[in-house]
Chain A
Amino acid sequence: MPSIGTLIVGAGHAGAQAAASLRQFGYDKPITLLTEETDPPYERPPLSKDYLARDKTFDAILLRPASFWASKNITLTLGQRAVAIDAAGHVLHTADGTAITYETLIWAAGGHARRLACTGHHLTGIHTIRTRADVDLMQAELAHTETVAVIGGGYIGLEAAAVLRKLGKSVVVIEMQDRVLARVAGPALSRFYEEEHRLHGVTLLLNTAVDCIEERDGRAAGVRLANGTIIAAEMIVVGVGIIPAVAPLREAGAAGANGIDVDDHCRTSLPDIYAIGDCAAHINPYAPAGQRIRLESVQNANDQAAIAAKSIIAAATGAPAPQYDAVPWFWSNQYDLRLQTIGLSTGYDDTVLRGDPAARSFSLIYLRAGQVIALDCVNATRDYVQGKPLVVNRRIIDKALLADTAIPLKTHG
């Protein structure tokens, strides 16, 4: 299967958009989009929300209609896993022994859901939420499930908990830290979401470590906590992050400790190989100065895809390549709460609460050295929109003024 042109590994938001962007910007060589999944590109965020709730069908979450790829002369290669790369020879090897020659490679393989390492981690009834296949497996078991233990109080775990409550399941969320969303948000946001989940009937166990998974008849039957308590559950959902899927690139010599390092054109340290999306460790202008981060979001996947596509086209023509400097944004829907985030709160040293959480509409504004660096806006779209210029321009504004809901944020822009 020779393919002189661009080979894209991974067909999530990043890979799919890279293919679409290349064509949109006029790239006329062959494009192959290769994924280990057996489905054409689809949206991942609904997996823990509308798709899990069956409010949306699979067709409704396809990123493009099935006919799109052929119409753009993009070859979709499904069910194929990349296993090795000969970077000097520009050849990628797949698990079935195929060697694919490329001119340019875009690595957009994202990550695999991190799994438990404790006793019982392999049992049937333990689920992760990363792919359509994951959620289809969950759904097949949900009909005969009454109680679900969710391990991990991050966005995936909390979104799943909200849907599972809506489906009438008993839900226990087990979180090792002393608050939910500890890695991604400030305490005020954590406390608000904890209260909401409790009000919706979720049992929240904070500061709680897992010892092992209990087994009965070859299936998971519950979670044994470090303190010896057993939480009985027919289903266990593990939402403890991802492990970047980068082994072939790493073995080929690409630099990177957490994911694969890329420059601001999304180029790796290997010739003609780009990396984008969840696995791309980049210097983000919205993170603390010089800090290399991976950003797991649709925004990052999409914007890095466009940068890689433009850079590939620019490299062919000798034109200057654009730099990645997009402002991060993110969303999470739980119950009737719409969280919208602008900026990155990483490294914040102060926060301002704007509005009243009890009114279920408020924003948490993050500051670093006085500058506005991010906003978490709950049912507060206006703050989200008007806060963006404050983040982009690193505005320094009196905290009392930021907190005053009578003053629109655009006043400070």
Chain B
Amino acid sequence: MPILTITNLAGATCDVSAPATGSVMEAIRGAGFDELAALCGGCLSCATCHVIVHPDDFARLAPMSADENDLLDGSDERTPTSRLSCQIPFTEALSGLRVTIAKDG
């Protein structure tokens, strides 16, 4: 299973392995991180699964949709490498991806 490196709000980092069948949001939630709200369950209806992708990893991701971009625009915590983690399919090719949970994630 691919590895995801997650940094939580307290700044602690850990590696988790997650099935390559779901999203990055599901990988974070499945690893038991309680800071990621992901309130709409991954249907692109809110922006509460906000993560900041490591700048060196950002280009590995497929471009975001206009709706994801708009939802991120509503966040005061947006950075140039912000993404909604429910919109990133987690695949073997993404193993080693580094994400930090945003304050409003």
CA separation between A386 and B71, bound complex, in Å? 9
Q: Which residues of B contact A60 (CB under 8 A)?
A: 22, 26
A24 vs B73: C-alpha distance in the bound complex, in angstroms? 27
Cβ 8 A contact of A64, one of B29, B67, B71: B29
User: Per DSSP, are chain A's interface residues mostly helix, strand or loop, or mixed?
Assistant: helix
Asked if B34 is at the interface (CB within 8 A of a chain A CB), the reply is yes
Number of A residues whose C-beta is below 8 Å from B?
A: 30
Total cross-chain contacts (CB, 8 A): 59
Whether the Cβ atoms of B34 and A338 lie closer than 8 Å is no
Quick check: B34 and A61 within 8 Å, CB to CB?
no
User: Judging by beta carbons under 8 Å apart, are B40 and A72 in contact?
Assistant: no
The proximity string for B residues 13-43 relative to A, scoring 1 for CB distances below 8 Å and 0 otherwise, is: 0000000001000100111101101011101
User: Any chain A CB within 8 A of the CB of B45?
Assistant: yes
Q: In residues 105-164 of chain A, which contact B (Cβ within 8 Å)? A: none
**Taking the complex as formed, is B46 at the interface, i.e. its CB lies under 8 A from any CB of chain A?**
yes
Contact between chains at B45 and A331 (CB < 8 Å)? yes
* Chain A residue contacts of B43, Cβ below 8 A: 49-50, 331, 333, 338
Closest to A56 in B: B41
A71 in contact (CB, < 8 A): yes
B32 touches A68 (CB 8 A): yes
Give min CB distance, A154 to chain B, whole Å: 18
Whether A298 pairs with B44 at a CB distance below 8 angstroms is no
Taking CB atoms, residues of chain A closer than 8 Å to B31 are: 65
Q: Verify if A329 is at the interface (C-beta below 8 Å from B).
A: yes
Residues of B within 8 A of A46 (CB): 41
The answer to whether B34 touches A68 (Cβ under 8 A) is yes
Q: Which residue of B lies closest to A46 (CB)?
A: B41
B residues near A71, Cβ cutoff 8 Å: 32
Q: Which of B30, B32, B41, B70 contacts A45 (CB 8 A)?
A: B41
Chain A, range 329-355, C-beta contacts under 8 Å to B: 329, 331, 333, 338, 340
Whether the pair B34, A45 counts as a contact (CB closer than 8 A) is: no
Give the chain A neighbours of B44 by CB distance below 8 A.
338, 381
Query: Are A385 and B71 in contact, CB atoms less than 8 angstroms apart?
Result: yes
Q: Can you list, as one digit per residue, whether each of A254-286 has a CB less than 8 Å from chain B (1) or not (0)? A: 000000000000000000000000000000000
Q: How far is the CA of A385 from the CA of B29 in the complex (A)?
A: 25
A43 contacts the other chain (Cβ, under 8 Å)? Answer: yes
Minimum CB distance partner of B26 in chain A: A60
Q: Is A299 an interface residue (CB 8 A)?
A: yes
- Residue of B34, B39, B45, B70 near A24 (CB, 8 A) is B34
Within 8 A of B (CB), among A45-93: 45-46, 49-50, 60-61, 64-65, 67-68, 71-72
A-B contact pairs, 10 of them (CB 8 A): A20-B34, A46-B41, A60-B22, A65-B31, A302-B37, A302-B39, A331-B46, A333-B45, A381-B44, A386-B74
Binding site for B on A (CB under 8 A): 20, 23-24, 43, 45-46, 49-50, 60-61, 64-65, 67-68, 71-72, 298-299, 302, 329, 331, 333, 338, 340, 381-382, 384-386, 388
